[in-house]
Amino acid sequence: MKLSSLNPLRCDGTPLPPPILLMCKLIVFCLMLRGYVEGIPEPFLPMLPMFDAIPRPDLFRQGSILIFLCASVGLLFNRSVRTCALLAGAIFLLQPLTSRVTFFYGNFFCASMLILSGLYDDRTGTLLHRAQFSIMYFGAGLGKLLDPDWHNGQFIDFWLSVKRPSALYESLASGLPERWFAGLLSWSTIVIEFALAIGLMFPKISRTFVWCAIVFHTGSVVLSQHDFGVFIAALLAGMLVFASWPERGQVKVLYDRGNRVAGLMKRISGVVHHDGLFDWRPTPSSDGGIRALRMEWQAKIYTGYAVIQIWLLLNPLTYFVIATLLCSPNLSKRIHITLVQITLIGGAFCLFPWAEAFNNLRLGLRWIEARVRCKSQH
């Protein structure tokens, strides 16, 4: 056993694809950081009566915590990752079955993603994970669509005026007719959830919908000033199943030795990138045709800031930093929610593929222009 394979920042060389293993690591990391593990209950008012027959509920709880911690250590240090994912997920799935008052969708989502990762098979790939996302958004959308309180904005208005009074909501809604803004938010939520349920099922278009989901959930956090427990962090980690991940040495980076930023990235990469994804190749400074940084991956060429974005997105440390900020323990509620909002907005802003989006927008506008011209000529 090589010592380097025990590095938590390494995600290759296991039966799980790197993004799925990274997702599992992040989920258990967030659960531990937010204190959900201590919250694993003793059997009490179980959904399945057989759990009432356990003679020592305290030992059952301690055993569950121990199994979860061992499985988490296994996942973080790349040991028997599929078994560990299955065990960690099973502990959280068992939680509401042993104590119905501890049923929460955040925990259930974490359990599902871990169990599906434990059941991962190369033949089906990420199909089950994608289906899980689709089912979740479909269920959420359908529930809202069939509830009259979502048709007229009653839920949103009550939530953001009484349950979690939001100054932002009040100020946005005050200039509009009564409940108009709440109704708009309700219907946009329903439409977005159905769109996500469909869009995330198809790998070709899922990337766009991943960003839609990130913007949608960031918006709900900002508007409600609520962090939704571990759910948002786990959901963002879960989005990794939609990521394209290169093989070792597949990302070719051409860099100018004389450039400071490039040199710094190369040095940091040596410390934090342990999967060897990047193939760094220096170019002579005199080569005016090549910029200071150029990346080649998946038959595409990236330059400038886009290189830094991909470098960050393919770096497990980026996700651990984001997870730590989202699940920061022992902070006052106000500081915590401010930190969560800054992380979500800042993270999305820094990592959003602006260049690609603007390029696609430009192409789209050109296409429309061409169609209009063609019609006017006819």
Partner 1 sequence: MIVYARFSEVRYFSWSPHDVMWAFEISVELDDTHLTASEAFKRYRLKRHKFHEHAIEHLIIAIRQYESTYGIDDDAHVTLVYSKNGGQEQKWNWPE
Residues that bind partner 1 (CB under 8 A): 41, 44-45, 47, 52, 96, 99-101, 103, 105-106, 108, 135-136, 138-140, 142-144, 146-147, 149-150, 154-155, 157-159, 162-163, 228, 231
| Residue nearer to partner 1 on the CB measure, 107 or 283 | 107
Cβ distance to partner 1 smaller for residue 191 or 350: 191
Closest alpha carbon to 24 in 8, 37, 3, 4: 8
Residue with smaller CB distance to partner 1, 163 or 248: 163
**Least distance (Å) from partner 1 to the CB of residue 241?**
17
Q: Is 178 or 247 the residue whose CB approaches partner 1 more closely?
A: 178
What is the closest distance, in whole angstroms, from the C-beta atom of residue 293 to partner 1 in the complex?
42
CB of residue 37 vs partner 1: minimum separation in angstroms? 17
Q: Give least dist CB 186 to partner 1, A.
A: 10
Nearest distance, CB of residue 122 and partner 1, angstroms: 27
Nearer to partner 1, 143 or 346 (CB): 143
By beta-carbon proximity to partner 1, the closer residue of 130 and 294 is: 130
By C-beta, is 147 or 178 nearer to partner 1? 147
CB of 238 to partner 1, least distance (A): 14
Q: Work out how close the CB of 328 gets to partner 1 at its nearest, in angstroms, rounded to a whole number.
A: 21
In three-state form (DSSP H/G/I as H, E/B as E, the rest C), the secondary structure along the chain is CCHHHHCCCCCCCCCCCHHHHHHHHHHHHHHHHCCCCCCCCCCCCCCCHHHHHCCCHHHHHHHHHHHHHHHHHHHHCCCCHHHHHHHHHHHHHHHHHHCHHHCCHHHHHHHHHHHHHHCCCCCCCCHHHHHHHHHHHHHHHHHHHCCHHHHCCHHHHHHHHHHCCCHHHHHHHHCCCCCHHHHHHHHHHHHHHHHHHHHCCCHHHHHHHHHHHHHHHHHHHHHHCCCCCCHHHHHHHHHHHHCCCCCCCCEEEEEECCCHHHHHHHHHHHHHCCCCCEEEEEECCCCCCCCCEEEEECCEEEECHHHHHHHHHCCHHHHHHHHHHHCCCCCCHHHHHHHHHHHHHHHHHHHCCHHHHHHHHHHHHHHHHHHHHHHHHC
Smallest gap from residue 166 Cβ to partner 1 (A): 14
Nearer to partner 1, 149 or 287 (CB): 149
Cβ distance 7 to 274 under 8 Å? yes
